[in-house]
Amino acid sequence: MKIGNLKYRITFQILVATTNENGFDVETWVDHKIVWAAVSNLNGREYFAAAAVQAEKTVKFTVRFFKDITESMRISFDGKQYNITAIDNIKYANKFIEIKAMEVDISG
């Protein structure tokens, strides 16, 4: 992967529980880290594997390596949110991370 391919800004978000003015617990997504990423749709074998489980809205993000990424986070990109389904430290080289994420359906 060439560093020049990382041309999209994505935001990693974490779910934070807070208490509102009425004393109720409220969970909200808060921006955690903004990074440059390469973004692509699944193709070939990956696409058909995702289609087998009706995950056709799956997108692959590639970012530079950082340690504190977890599957409990989500990604905000281009006005849409994506739940992280898989994280792969490519060849365990600690240079790039490949993330597969599925688009969140707003309708619930």
CA distance 84 to 102: 7
pLDDT (0 to 100) of residue 51: 52
Torsions phi, psi for 107 (to 5 deg): -70, -10
CA distance 50 to 89: 20
Residue with tokens 């490519």: 90
> Percent of the chain beyond pLDDT 90?
66
CA distance 100 to 68: 16
CA distance 84 to 4: 24
Torsions phi, psi for 4 (to 5 deg): -65, -15
Residue 82's DSSP bridge partners are: 75, 103
Split at pLDDT 50, 70, 90, the class of 59 is very high
pLDDT (0 to 100) of residue 72: 95
Residue 17's domain comprises: 3-103
Q: What is the mean pLDDT of the chain?
A: 86
R_g of the chain computed on alpha carbons: 15
Q: Is 108 inside a domain boundary?
A: no
**CATH number of the domain within which 32 lies:** 2.40.10.270
DSSP state of 108: -
What is the number of domains present in the chain? 1
Which two three-digit tokens encode residue 106? 């707003």
Q: Is 77 inside a domain boundary?
A: yes
Q: Is 73 inside a domain boundary?
A: yes
